[in-house]
Structure 1
Amino acid sequence: MQRGKGMKFVEDSRVLDKESRNKIPKDYSEYPGRTEAFWPNFLLKEWLVGAVFLIGFLCLVAAHPSPLEQQADPNNASYIPLPDWYFLFLYELLKYEFAAGDYVVIGTVVIPGLAFGALLIAPFLDRGPERRPSKRPIATGLMLLGVIATIWLTYESVEAVNWEDRANYSVEAVPDVEIDEEDPGYEVYQNNCMSCHGGQLEGNPASGGPSLVGIPHGKEALKDIAVNGVGEMPANMFEGTDEELDQLAEFIISVNEQANGEGEEGESEEESE
């Protein structure tokens, strides 16, 4: 009988073979569609792509920071806040009939919940190994639906905004003046004019109140406008005494002098007017 014939040799599991000692990644060339090891080859490429994108995005943010608007003014009830661009699609969704008003829960909870829930369960609904979009209809359909809806709603929201008017709310549009809140005329202005002309006299495009910085009117002209109105401003908007009316006019003039860099010369000119 030949030695070893009919016998089965069992390897001792306590002894490592040469292949397990070297721990060399398998050659995936024999498997179609799998030409490299997931670790570290594939993950290394993913990390490199992600790092390049992140660095590029950080450079873009540093070069072009997000534009800021003026400080919130609780006296301006006509101001409509606008969310950042990545939330504009949800902002536009709330304008539709069945996503706002009595149905606001649908627009704020139900629809976003279904959308994000579909994204979460998409990997479990389609477990196919195929990478071609045509071979994965569920995942591809959910992706296309989400992308198209987001782009369309964002576009509709951007088109509906009057960007020229909103530019007046930017930080750059704030007059370069310091408001003296201790001035007696400031309290009169706050009670009578701030809701239409803003906390910094910068104006309010939403309510139609123009900026009061840079106006050419003198003291008497300002008093007349406050009482009798002008243009779209109706009469009898001012509620106060004659002394408060004088304080209001002097306060507006002092702010304009500060904005124009004028001093006593500007004050004497206004008195002559």
Structure 2
Amino acid sequence: MHKGKGMKFVGDSRISAERKPNIPKDYSEYPGRTEAFWPNFLLKEWLAGSVFLVGFLCLTLAHPSPLEGMADPTDAGYIPLPDWYFLFLYELLKYDFASGPYILFGILIIPGLAFGGLLLAPFLDKGPGRRPHQRPVAVGMMLIALVSVVWLTYESASHVDWEQRAEANKPVPPSEQADIDTESEGYAIFENNCMSCHGEDLQGGAAGPPLIGIDRSAEEIKDIAQNGIGSMPPDQFTGSDDELDQLAEFIVSVNEQE
């Protein structure tokens, strides 16, 4: 300011000359394009999550997951399987391009590209629309991922007899465990021919059902050992006829103790 010359003001471009009150937008001006987060959007999300949670709980009550016994590190015939939500990765490792010398593709590269693509989907498709046909890249990648996971999980689960596996690996109370004479000749024959599938205590394994609690005669047991039954192939017994008689009598004697 100079004397006799009036007053001069210096403006700051960072300060708006027009004051705007801190009032939220009137969403009625944008019908169908946006909505208030509280309570409209949050209430819809909560209702959708509640419906999914109730449906999932009903499914678990109607079809509970089979539980197995405690892990036994001495059981060499046990085949571990991942939980159901990892079965699609387990199935992926069965293909030639993701196993053997290409195992790194199955455990690192392919899953990394898949999950990385899903993370990048919102950045690859920046369209303003919210309908599926307006977001082709993001919706297409999500559909491919969903179909792949569902198909691989179905393929993996269809090759496993879950009921037989649960029955073979269920916990056995001490009161139900049979007293097995491991020094007998019949047990030695069982050890050489049957233990790899039916377990050292006859309680079954991943490849065979338990031999305790069965109601079969010695003749039926010999016939099954030679000709097979169900998923058990024939000619599994490689001993002589006398050894087959001893094996059948041993299994019958174990079941007579109960």
Give your verdict on TM over 0.5: yes
Alignment-mate amino acid for residue 66 of structure 2: P
The answer for unaligned runs of 5 or more in structure 1 is 1-16, 240-245, 260-273
- The 1:51/1:60 distance shift into structure 2, 3 A limit, reads same
- What's 1:216 paired with? 217
- After superposition, residues 228-267 of structure 1 pair within 5 angstroms as 230=226, 232=235, 233-235=237-239, 252-253=251-252, 255-259=254-258
**Is the 1:122–1:139 Cα contact (8 Å) retained in structure 2?**
yes
User: CA shift at 1:119, angstroms?
Assistant: 1.1
- After superposition, residues 66-105 of structure 1 pair within 5 angstroms as 66-69=65-68, 72=71, 77-105=76-104
TM-score, scaled to structure 1: 0.62
Alignment-mate amino acid for residue 32 of structure 2: G
- CA deviations over 1:218-255 (Å, ceiling 9, x no partner): 9xxx9xx7xxx85520117x99xxxxxx9x98874553
Provide the identity percentage.
56
User: CA shift at 1:144, angstroms?
Assistant: 1.9
- What's 1:194 paired with? 195
- What's 1:268 paired with? none
- The 1:114/1:184 distance shift into structure 2, 3 A limit, reads same
In 1: Cα distance, 2:45 partner to 2:210 partner:
54
- What's 2:207 paired with? 206
User: CA shift at 1:185, angstroms?
Assistant: 5.4
- What's 1:8 paired with? none
In 2: Cα distance, 1:217 partner to 1:104 partner:
47
- CA deviations over 1:26-66 (Å, ceiling 9, x no partner): 43011143353122321122122212322332243234321
Aligned residues: 223
**Is the 2:91–2:155 Cα contact (8 Å) retained in structure 1?**
yes
In 2: Cα distance, 1:67 partner to 1:142 partner:
33
- What's 2:4 paired with? none
Alignment-mate amino acid for residue 211 of structure 2: S
In 2: Cα distance, 1:158 partner to 1:60 partner:
17
- CA deviations over 1:161-209 (Å, ceiling 9, x no partner): 153xx533223786883134797559x56854532322442445736x8
**Is the 1:29–1:35 Cα contact (8 Å) retained in structure 2?**
no
In 2: Cα distance, 1:58 partner to 1:93 partner:
28
- What's 1:152 paired with? 151
Helix, strand or coil: the match of 1:170? helix
Give the superposed CA RMSD. Answer: 4.3
1:168 to 139, 154, 164: 164
In 1: Cα distance, 2:157 partner to 2:78 partner:
17
Alignment-mate amino acid for residue 67 of structure 2: L
Helix, strand or coil: the match of 2:218? coil
In 1: Cα distance, 2:201 partner to 2:49 partner:
45
TM-score, scaled to structure 2: 0.65
The answer for unaligned runs of 5 or more in structure 2 is 1-18, 228-234
- The 1:139/1:95 distance shift into structure 2, 3 A limit, reads same
- What's 2:232 paired with? none
- The 1:74/1:195 distance shift into structure 2, 3 A limit, reads farther
Helix, strand or coil: the match of 1:154? helix
In 2: Cα distance, 1:140 partner to 1:109 partner:
24
**Is the 2:168–2:203 Cα contact (8 Å) retained in structure 1?**
no
**Is the 1:91–1:157 Cα contact (8 Å) retained in structure 2?**
yes
**Is the 2:180–2:201 Cα contact (8 Å) retained in structure 1?**
no
**Is the 2:117–2:141 Cα contact (8 Å) retained in structure 1?**
yes
- The 1:145/1:117 distance shift into structure 2, 3 A limit, reads same
In 1: Cα distance, 2:36 partner to 2:210 partner:
67
In 1: Cα distance, 2:38 partner to 2:160 partner:
51
- What's 1:3 paired with? none
